């Protein structure tokens, strides 16, 4: 069998979110099924590190698809032509996009439907493209994979897609996210927070992530904090960051808020493993990778009670209402007053076992090859 794969998010040095998902699934799939040929379709020159084995062929298709007009051309013209040229039997796309012009089966991974719930946080033309095409892609797809039960329910309820053709395939966790020793934690805290304990947020600085709400809640918490906690925010600026900057500038205790960016995976794993607790205050997450990374580091989790986050964080997490600043503050106060996390950590260890990249890849492989 010949499998065509949308690989446009495999970009060296920029493997985030969807890109890492593609990397982990494809690298396992091609090695597990050496009898099949895989054609990875890129939209720009690619690194040979993504040619994972001898049964992989890398192909660059123009134009670089980084704009809605070019998305359309790439998926409705370039992809169909390439699939026909290489006589592919199936098409796999793991970024939520598909093609309406294909006659062969296509399998699509959809991560979330944020455009439906928070259209104001998405660029105008992008939102129009998502709203028009994503329902069409999913209805046409032969098989769909969602990264959480919450996203599956969203697709079924809001896009009226047949639930029988949807399978849940959770994300896994990078192998460098592991519990740290007391010495390692001390070293990291000394480097970044002057040896103080800290709460950690990881994610894009974007209104949907509710970093502004977290800053306000932390500022309120600091009024009664006796342990000199810091708030470490790790992420790059994304879209509409003004509301975050405003919250930071208005904070009374902004001197206790530390922004970090451009951390590699190894550094992020150390920062995550050294946190007192990880906080995910997002209004919507299709999965919530930083939550899983914290669980794998034996770090307590505080997160929103919305969409996929309760599902991913598990029974050991402290949940709060992300729309309510006092609710976030109360959650921070609760975890800061606990002297023993043993039960929470043990619950996290049991819960996290279901999230592995091997399982993710196997579910997608089962859909394609069986």
The string of pLDDT tens digits covering residues 46-103 is 999 999 999 999 999 999 998 999 999 999 999 999 999 999 999 999 999 999 999 9
Q: Tokens 């503050």 belong to which residue?
A: 329
User: What is the pLDDT, as a whole number, of residue 242?
Assistant: 87
Read off the pLDDT of each residue in 238-249 and give the average, rounded to a whole number. Answer: 85
Of the pLDDT bands very low, low, confident and very high (cuts 50, 70, 90), residue 370 is confident
Q: Per residue in 117-168, pLDDT tens?
A: 999 988 999 999 999 999 999 999 999 999 999 999 999 999 999 999 999 9
Read off the pLDDT of each residue in 4-18 and give the average, rounded to a whole number. Answer: 93
Of the pLDDT bands very low, low, confident and very high (cuts 50, 70, 90), residue 239 is low
User: What is the pLDDT, as a whole number, of residue 141?
Assistant: 98
Q: Per residue in 295-328, pLDDT tens?
A: 999 999 999 999 999 999 999 999 999 999 999 9
Strands (E), 284-369: 301-304, 318-320
* DSSP-assigned beta bridge partners for residue 56: 38
CA distance 29 to 370: 14
User: What is the pLDDT, as a whole number, of residue 20?
Assistant: 95
User: What is the pLDDT, as a whole number, of residue 241?
Assistant: 79
Domains and CATH numbers, the chain: 2-172+356-369 (3.40.50.2000), 182-352 (3.40.50.2000)
What b/e readout covers 136-147, taking b as 16+ CB neighbours within 10 angstroms?
A: ebbeebbbbbbb
Read off the pLDDT of each residue in 333-360 and give the average, rounded to a whole number. Answer: 95
Say yes or no to pLDDT of 281 above 80: yes
Read off the pLDDT of each residue in 210-227 and give the average, rounded to a whole number. Answer: 96
Q: Residue 58: exposed, middle, or buried by beta-carbon count in 10 A (0-12, 13-18, 19+)?
A: middle
**Residue 24 has which token pair?**
């982990």
Q: Per residue in 156-208, pLDDT tens?
A: 999 999 999 999 999 999 999 999 999 999 999 999 999 999 999 999 898 99
CA distance 196 to 188: 10
Say yes or no to pLDDT of 240 above 70: no
User: What is the pLDDT, as a whole number, of residue 287?
Assistant: 96
Average pLDDT, the chain: 96
Nearest 5 degrees, angle CA 173-CA 234-CA 323? 90
Q: Residue 233: exposed, middle, or buried by beta-carbon count in 10 A (0-12, 13-18, 19+)?
A: buried
Q: Per residue in 26-44, pLDDT tens?
A: 999 999 999 999 999 999 9
User: What is the pLDDT, as a whole number, of residue 15?
Assistant: 84
CA distance 23 to 321: 34
């Amino acid at each position: 069998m010949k499998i065509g794969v949308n690989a446009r998010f495999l970009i060296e040095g920029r493997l985030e979110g969807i890109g890492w998902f593609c990397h982990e699934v494809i690298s396992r799939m091609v090695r597990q099924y050496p009898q099949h040929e895989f054609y990875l379709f890129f939209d720009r020159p690619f690194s040979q590190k993504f040619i994972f084995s001898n049964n992989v062929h890398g192909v660059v298709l123009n134009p670089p698809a980084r704009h809605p007009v070019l998305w359309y051309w790439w998926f409705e013209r370039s992809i169909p032509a390439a699939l026909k040229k290489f006589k592919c039997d199936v098409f796999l796309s793991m970024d939520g996009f598909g093609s309406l012009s294909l006659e062969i089966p296509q399998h699509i991974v959809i991560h979330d439907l944020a455009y439906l719930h928070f259209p104001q946080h998405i660029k105008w033309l992008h939102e129009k493209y998502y709203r028009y095409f994503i329902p069409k892609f999913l209805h046409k797809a032969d098989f769909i994979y969602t990264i959480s039960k919450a996203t599956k329910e969203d697709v079924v309820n809001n896009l009226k897609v047949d639930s029988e053709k949807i399978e849940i395939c959770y994300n896994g966790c990078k192998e460098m996210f592991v519990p740290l020793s007391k010495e390692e934690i001390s070293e990291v805290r000394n480097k970044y927070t002057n040896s103080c304990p800290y709460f950690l947020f990881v994610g894009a600085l974007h209104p949907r992530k509710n970093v502004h709400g977290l800053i306000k809640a932390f500022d309120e918490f600091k009024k009664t904090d006796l342990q000199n906690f810091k708030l470490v925010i790790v992420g790059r600026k994304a879209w509409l960051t003004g509301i975050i900057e405003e919250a930071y500038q208005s904070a009374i205790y902004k001197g206790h808020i530390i922004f970090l960016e451009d951390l590699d995976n190894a550094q992020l794993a150390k920062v995550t493993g050294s946190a007192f607790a990880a906080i995910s205050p997002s209004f919507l997450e299709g999965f919530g990778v930083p939550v899983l990374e914290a669980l794998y580091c034996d770090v307590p989790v505080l997160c929103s009670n919305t969409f996929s986050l309760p599902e991913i964080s598990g029974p050991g997490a402290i949940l709060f209402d992300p729309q309510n600043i006092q609710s976030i503050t109360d959650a921070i106060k609760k975890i800061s007053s606990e002297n023993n996390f043993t039960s929470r950590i043990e619950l996290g260890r049991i819960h996290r076992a279901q999230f592995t990249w091997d399982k993710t890849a196997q579910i997608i492989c089962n859909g394609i090859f069986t």
